[in-house]
C-alpha cells in the first residue's frame, strides 16, 4: 500500500503551547563539529535538519527559535561546513547538518562532508528524527533522493519539511507536493506526514515546533 503522505494537521492547543515553550526557552549554540570525535556526549535526545544548500535551512532554524541570526543565513550556498549543535535547554539538541549538493564546493570538501554526514546518521543513537528540507519551488531533486536513501540505510526516521512555500503559486505548490509524495513512496524511513512552511511568512512554523516538542 502506498502511503498518501498528507500534510501534518493543525495541532491541538496544548501541543502547540508545548512547542512554543520549547523554543521560547534557552537556545544556545554548543559547538561546530568537523569529525565524529568532536560530537558532544550523547546524553539527550536530538533531532537534525538536513537539506540541499540554499534550501532555506538557516532561515527555518531562525524562524523556529525566533532569533534572527542563531543559524547564520548566507546567500552563499554551502557555507555551513560543520555539524552545528544547539541546546534547547537541557533536554534536547537541535542539529544543523552541512548543506549538501553544492557543485561549486571543492571535491575534497564535498567528500569530507559526505563522510561526516554518513558517519553521523549511522552512528548517533540519540537521533530521534531527521527533518529533510525540500524547496517547494523545485520538489525532490536527485541529491535529495540520495540523502533519503542514506537515511533509509541508516534506519533513521525522517520527515519532509517543504520550505519557501510563499515563493510559488498555489498550483505550483500543489504540483510539487505531489511530486514529493511520489518520491517519498520509495523510502521506507519516511514519516507519513509532511509539513509545508514559509520562514518569511511564518506558515507551518507552529506546527513544526509542536511536532518537535512531541518527539520522544
Q: Is the pLDDT of residue 77 over 80?
A: no
93 or 4, higher pLDDT: 93
Q: Where are the domains of the chain?
A: 13-213
For 116-170, write each residue's pLDDT tens digit.
888 999 889 999 999 999 999 999 999 899 899 999 999 999 999 999 999 999 9
Q: What is the DSSP string of 152-195?
A: HHTT--EEEEEE-GGGS-HHHHHHHHHHHHHHHTT-TTB-S-BE
* Structure confidence at residue 98 (pLDDT): 83
Q: Is the pLDDT of residue 104 over 50?
A: yes
Strands 127-135 and 158-163, bridge-based pairing: parallel
Q: What is the band of 10 on the pLDDT scale with cuts at 50, 70, 90?
A: confident
Rg, C-alpha atoms of the chain: 16
* Structure confidence at residue 74 (pLDDT): 46
* Structure confidence at residue 62 (pLDDT): 94
Q: Is the pLDDT of residue 190 over 60?
A: yes
The whole-angstrom separation of Cα 17 and Cα 91 is 17
Q: Is 134 helix (H, G, I), strand (E, B) or coil?
A: strand
For 201-210, write each residue's pLDDT tens digit.
999 999 999 9
99-105 mean pLDDT: 67
| Terminal alpha carbon distance of the chain | 27
The whole-angstrom separation of Cα 29 and Cα 112 is 23
Q: What is the band of 53 on the pLDDT scale with cuts at 50, 70, 90?
A: confident
Average pLDDT for the chain: 90
113 or 37, higher pLDDT: 37
Fold of 13-213: Rossmann fold (3.40.50)
The whole-angstrom separation of Cα 35 and Cα 115 is 9
* Structure confidence at residue 127 (pLDDT): 97
* Structure confidence at residue 75 (pLDDT): 46
* Structure confidence at residue 113 (pLDDT): 79
Q: Is the pLDDT of residue 46 over 90?
A: yes
Amino acid at each position: 500500500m502506498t502511503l498518501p503522505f498528507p500534510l501534518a494537521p493543525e495541532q491541538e492547543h496544548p501541543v502547540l503551547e508545548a512547542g512554543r515553550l520549547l523554543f521560547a526557552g534557552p537556545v544556545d549554540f554548543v559547538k561546530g563539529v568537523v569529525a565524529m570525535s568532536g560530537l558532544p556526549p550523547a546524553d539527550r535526545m536530538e533531532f537534525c535538519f538536513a537539506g540541499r544548500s540554499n534550501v532555506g535551512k538557516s532561515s527555518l532554524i531562525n524562524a523556529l527559535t525566533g532569533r534572527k541570526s542563531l543559524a547564520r543565513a548566507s546567500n552563499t550556498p554551502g557555507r555551513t561546513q560543520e555539524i552545528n549543535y544547539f541546546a534547547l535547554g537541557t533536554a534536547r539538541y537541535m542539529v544543523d547538518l552541512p548543506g549538501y549538493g553544492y557543485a561549486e564546493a571543492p571535491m575534497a570538501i564535498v567528500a569530507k562532508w559526505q563522510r561526516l554526514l554518513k558517519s553521523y546518521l549511522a552512528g548517533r543513537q540519540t537521533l530521534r528524527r531527521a527533518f529533510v528540507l525540500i524547496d517547494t519551488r523545485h520538489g525532490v531533486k536527485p541529491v535529495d533522493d540520495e540523502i533519503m536513501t542514506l537515511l533509509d540505510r541508516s534506519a533513521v526516521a525522517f520527515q519532509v519539511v517543504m520550505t519557501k512555500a510563499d515563493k510559488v503559486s498555489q498550483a505550483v505548490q500543489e504540483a510539487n507536493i505531489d511530486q514529493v509524495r511520489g518520491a517519498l513512496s520509495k523510502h521506507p524511513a519516511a514519516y507519513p506526514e509532511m509539513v509545508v512552511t514559509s520562514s518569511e511568512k511564518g506558515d507551518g512554523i507552529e506546527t513544526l515546533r509542536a511536532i518537535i516538542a512531541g518527539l520522544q
